[in-house]
Amino acid sequence: MGGVTTIVRMFVVGIDPGLTRCGYCVVEAREGAQPRAVALGVMRTSPDDQVHHRLAELQSELRALLTEFPVTAMAVERVLFQVNVRTAMSVGQASGIAMVEAVNAGCEVVQYSPNEVKSAVAGWGNADKVQMQQMVQTLLGLAEPPHPFDAADAAALALCHIAMAPMRAAATRAVAKAGA
């Protein structure tokens, strides 16, 4: 008699936060199979609208995305530094909306720095935007590089989390065991 084989399947959404353009990518990861993008694109809001209306629109679109797919984790780009304060504020607001929606949907939320994403996906932290697009294309088996960069960055975030999740889980188990 053979045992039952369980195939682990998870959906991870990567979010490249922004108020005018918020990149997203839902990636399905299955044990032993190449990850595949099941949703990839950019949510846009009009700069002509008031900020609170734009945030509400972004929140609604993110909620719809998280309702459509059985996402277990959200990987969000960590805002480290922006020269333009206005841009930093809007990115931070969009990031906050995304993380709250993920928590409300029961998702794990993990933030990654741009260098962590580049290292996990391209193999080095100084990869440029075009190199990242090409790596995302290769890793997801896409016919062409994802456009615009916001969508490619979101896909890279999801791929980073898929690569890092086993190490994060092992570290969590080791800490729990040491504390027992």
Does 128 qualify as catalytic in the annotation? no
Give the pair of three-digit tokens for residue 97. Answer: 């909306």
The CA angle 67-99-153, to the nearest 5 degrees, is: 90
Q: From CA 107, how far away is CA 44, in angstroms rounded?
A: 23
Does 49 qualify as catalytic in the annotation? no
Whose structure tokens read 């679109």? Answer: 61
Residue 108 half-sphere exposure, CB side, CA atoms within 13 Å? 14
Whose structure tokens read 């209306």? Answer: 53
Whether 21 contacts 54, CB under 8 Å: no
Q: From CA 133, how far away is CA 156, in angstroms rounded?
A: 8
On the 0-12 / 13-18 / 19+ scale of CB atoms within 10 A, 39 is: middle
Determine which one of 28, 101, 116, 150 is catalytic.
Answer: 150
Does 108 qualify as catalytic in the annotation? no
Determine which one of 28, 77, 101, 116 is catalytic.
Answer: 77
Active site residues: 16, 77, 150
